Structure 1
């Protein structure tokens, strides 16, 4: 790896950047599984972890297809917008429905600007998606992305 490749967003510490996204997604998914067991008490942190897991999964796929994440980091519309990332992953060939499930759309509104899950200023309440089918569909997506990104 050259220094130029590292600066382009192709690798992070010698590891392909798409693998760092995948590793992060899988770690966050394990945390989301733990929080799901106490969902009534952890709905907001759970929604945050699920949204970030989804963001990392979609970025792992797109970064693999593009050979890095420079475009993902550069395009403000793709940074945290789960619906836009879903559409981009689908356009790049990910075998998902062209229209994301309702839970993705709901999380996207909370996860993107103005980032209600992070900074709930001026908000009286946050309604997060229900556990199912969100968790089972997220786990299926994680398996799909892992198989495509790693080839196994």
Structure 2
């Protein structure tokens, strides 16, 4: 018996075959069939906050698919986020967008106290690869003590 669900979003429909996908704990399939009205960004952000690591990864993937379209929302979420792991993920997503609009956020994270956030900011600036991003990376490298 084939178990298909269909998610509709903005007139587009997406079919997911649950019989071939992994059986997730905590009712992932039930949650998705109850809330197909949520756009991928909201669904993804919600899943990223779940306790199940697989659900968190699924949520990350959903947000990653629409990150370029929702950069302003990602930046806003990063600004108010309290959870360190979630903040790292959001900064990773912001960097992957490769948009000059992310430069101020990446720059602030690069000069912050948190080493993991600095690492994700560095990665984002390397991906951005604009003159301003390269300048920030060069300045940051000059401030580092020799290894």
Identify the structure with bigger relative contact order (alpha carbons < 8 Å, sequence gap 6+). Answer: 1
TM-score between both structures, scaled by the size of structure 2: 0.30
Structure having the higher strand fraction is 2
